[in-house]
Amino acid sequence: MNTNNLPALITPSILSADFSKLGEEIRQVTGAGADWIHIDVMDNHYVPNLTIGPMVCKAIKKIAKIPLDIHLMVENVDLLIPEFSRSGADIITIHPETSKHLDRTLSLIKDCNCKAGLALNPASNLQVLDYIMDKIDLILVMSVNPGFGGQKFLPMSIKKIKDVRTKIDEWSLKDGHNFIMLQVDGGVNIDNIAKIRSAGANAFVSGSAIFESGNYKETINAMKMEIQKSDDLKLNYE
């Protein structure tokens, strides 16, 4: 599939936002051109960090005018899916290791009227995708080991993004199959977003590169310009 025809979504991660003025941060990044708000939920069990819960998601929903993209990095994930759905989640992404019955957990997300995503860590095997493609709307490739913001992009992630893109394209060629987004999270910035796009991604999670930039609109616009340059280059090459 030609990735030029796919949407390119910038999804700022509030993990890097200033929580002392979170409401204003949400308003500013939304006004700056963000497409989704990415909310990293960590429980200090599945990953070594503790972040936020459904109450914060509910508060953000009152302010944000764009979809809330919830990334659950927690154990006992089935208990939290309905809570985040009721709190305003539009997309809920989980890790396969956090579910005792992956098919059932993905169905639970759908039953809660949310889009379902599956996250793959740097060492995750892609074979898990072979059995649940019909259940998911999004695949999230982690380009860092999950747990903390501000990490550097792992170069080996480019190959994984390409491999996942191939799997999605093979799936999409079959009539009646669902459209699946390919999202990348971890160290995404202005300098590497074009390369990530050319590998096949169409949703880009970025935390510190946006929230520590000093000018959210300028940074998001620069990211979108780099994506457009990548698309133009690929189109000219083809």
* Residues annotated in a binding site for a divalent metal cation: 38, 40, 71, 185
**C-alpha distances out from residue 84 to 37, 55, 170, 194, Å:** 14, 9, 32, 32
Check if 40 is active-site: yes
Please pick, among 35, 40, 43, 231, the residue that the annotation labels catalytic. 40
Residue ranges of the annotated binding site for substrate are 13, 71, 147-150, 185-187, 207-208
Q: Known binding site: residues?
A: 13, 38, 40, 71, 147-150, 185-187, 207-208
Max Cα-Cα span within the chain: 49
Task: Confirm whether 169 is a catalytic residue.
Answer: no
Tokens of 177: 């199959």
- For residue 139, the number of C-alpha atoms closer than 13 Å in the C-beta half-sphere is 31
Question: What does 116-147 look like in DSSP terms, one character per residue?
Answer: EEEEE-TT--GGGGGGTGGG-SEEEEESS-TT
Query: Which of 35, 43, 69, 185 is the catalytic position?
Result: 185
Distance CA 153, CA 198 (A): 15
d(CA 84, CA 161): 28
The residues facing 9 across adjacent strands are 203
Q: Which residues make Cβ contacts (< 8 Å) with residue 227, sequence separation at least 6?
A: 8, 193, 194, 197, 204
* Residues labelled as active-site residues: 40, 185
